Amino acid sequence: MNNTSILIKEELLERLPSIPRVVYEVWNTIGNKKEADLSKISDIISKDLTLSARVLKIVNSPLYGFPNKISSIKHAVVLLGLDAIKGILIGTVVFGNVNSDIKDIWTHACDCATAARVISEVFDIKDSETLIAAGLLHDMGKVVLKSFFPKLYLKVSEVKKKENISDRDAERVAIGVTHDVINRWITEKWNFPESLSEPISFHHNIGASEKYPFFTAAISLADFLSHAYRLTSTEPILPDLSEEVCNILNLNPDILGEILLRMDRTLYDIEWNGI
Ligand SMILES: [Fe+2]
Ligand SMILES: [Fe+2]
């Protein structure tokens, strides 16, 4: 890390708010257990009406594609599982206020989460709910950068426009630190489970993923495909899709075609509203 990124890291960790009390309470109750008292967790979330409404809105959105409406938090908790619930709670914190400033990041996050769901279906991945939550949060570092360091974000945007390069390359050139590295700082500070943290932090650096390389590769592919799906002449840059991702997932043209076809069923004509 160079001096600028050390300074950014220090300032970011200092300015990053703590997790809201209710989210912290849920995380504490879940702890590192594989099983926890689901009623207790549901009770804590249900006491916060705004949070409950946001969780239900996400769970009932096309991101998850559940066939029936889920009207209780308890049902949502049971269906999603603990790591996914942790991810969604963080999603409500990061994207709780989707205004025009972060609308483009929100749309891409929802597209990526949808692609992650489709990839889970096609590859029959267990715990698809956690992967979907990882898709939603995979670029959270950009939101944090934009919210807490608007001047640095502006610098990145200017470089991106001028050089016609990807977001990540522009971040590297303009401020010497990229959003995936910021993701790692945040996931460490907020103590994310590794099933979420690795795909979020290493989706541009698959080799660094130790415990969840398949999840990480899946989010990298979801990111690539969601950019490719909305490729336009004004936004012509795609993130890299490394050979490692293709190898880990054993990708072939038939599988890719199937994923794109299924993505199109959800994404065609969709407008992602805030939460
Ligand atoms: Fe990214
Ligand atoms: Fe992305």
Q: How far apart are the CA of 132 and the centre of ligand 1, in A? A: 15
The answer as to whether 52 is a domain residue is no
Residues 204-232 have pLDDT tens digits of: 999 999 999 999 999 999 999 999 998 87
Cα(215) to centroid(ligand 1), Å = 14
Name residues whose C-beta falls within 8 Å of residue 15's C-beta, 6 or more positions apart in sequence. 148
**pLDDT value for 231:** 81
Indicate whether 38 belongs to any domain: no
pLDDT recorded at residue 17:
77
Cα(68) to centroid(ligand 2), Å: 29
26 occurs within a structural domain: no
Q: Does pLDDT of 2 surpass 80? A: no
For 245-273, the pLDDT digits (tens) are 999 999 999 999 999 999 999 999 898 88
What is the domain count for the chain? 1
Here the CATH number for the domain that contains residue 256 is: 1.10.3210.10
pLDDT of 3 > 80? The answer is no
Q: Is residue 172 part of a domain?
A: yes
Whole-angstrom Cα distance, residue 149 to residue 123? 38
φ and ψ at 248, to 5 degrees?
-60, -40
Q: What DSSP string describes 151-169?
A: HHHHHHHHHHHHHT--HHH
Spacing, Cα 53 to ligand 1 middle (Å): 28
Residue 206 per-residue DSSP state: G
Region 3-22: mean pLDDT is 83
pLDDT of residue 180: 96
Q: Are 8 and 141 in contact (CB under 8 A)?
A: no
At residue 32, the pLDDT reads 65
Whole-number Å distance, alpha carbon 180 to ligand 2 midpoint, is: 9
Q: What ligand is nearest to the CA atom of residue 223? A: 2
DSSP-based three-state secondary structure for 265: helix
Distance 41 CA to ligand 2 centre (A): 30
Query: Which pLDDT score is estimated for 58?
Result: 92
Which among 57, 27, 68, 32 has a CA at the least distance from the CA of 44? 27
> How close is the Cα of 222 to the center of ligand 2, in Å?
8
For residue 205, how far is its CA from the centre of ligand 1 (angstroms)? 10
Sole residue written with tokens 């809105």:
57
As a whole number of angstroms, the distance between CA 105 and CA 140 comes to: 9
Contacting residues for 129 by C-beta, under 8 A, at least 6 apart? 64, 79, 80, 81, 83, 84
Residue 140 pLDDT class (50, 70, 90 cuts): very high
Q: How far is the CA of 41 from the centre of ligand 1 (A)?
A: 31
Q: How far is the CA of 69 from the centre of ligand 2 (A)?
A: 28
Q: How far is the CA of 76 from the centre of ligand 2 (A)?
A: 26
Contacts of 172 (CB under 8 A, 6+ apart): 178
| 231 assigned to some structural domain | yes
- For residue 236, the SS3 value is coil
Mean pLDDT on 156-174: 93
CA neighbor of 168 nearest in space, from 191, 196, 136, 202: 202
Torsional sign, CA 46, 50, 53, 56: negative
pLDDT bracket for residue 13 (50, 70, 90): confident
Query: What is the rounded CA–CA span in Å between residue 23 and residue 92?
Result: 10
Determine the average pLDDT of the residues in 89-102: 84
- For residues 223 and 216, give the distance between their C-alpha atoms in angstroms, rounded to a whole number: 11
Q: Percent of the chain having pLDDT more than 90?
A: 64
Residue owning tokens 């303009």: 174
Going from the Cα of 261 to the center of ligand 1, the distance in angstroms, rounded, reads: 23
- Ligand nearest to the Cα of 180, by number: 1
d(CA 88, CA 171): 26
Domain with 144 in it: 3-16+99-267
Alpha-carbon gap, residue 152 to 20, rounded angstroms: 26
Q: Is residue 247 part of a domain?
A: yes
Q: Quick check: 4 pLDDT over 80?
A: no
Identify the pLDDT of residue 239.
Answer: 82
For residue range 17-47, list pLDDT tens digits in order. Answer: 778 888 888 888 887 666 678 889 999 999 9
Any domain includes 58: no
Out of 83-87, 153-157, 228-232, least confident range: 228-232
Phi, psi values for residue 261, rounded to 5°: -60, -45
Give residue 33's pLDDT: 67
| CA of residue 85 to ligand 2 center, whole Å | 21
Å from CA of 38 to ligand 1 middle: 32
> At 59, which helix (H) or strand (E)?
helix 49-59
Distance in angstroms (rounded) separating the CA atoms of residues 114 and 129: 11
Q: Which residues surround ligand 1, an ion (CB under 5 A)?
A: 139
Answer yes or no: is 128 within a domain: yes
Q: Is 30 helix (H, G, I), strand (E, B) or coil?
A: helix
Element (H, E) at 40: helix 38-47
Instruction: Taking residues 90-109, report their average pLDDT.
Output: 87
Instruction: Compute the mean pLDDT over every residue in the chain, rounded to the nearest whole number.
Output: 90
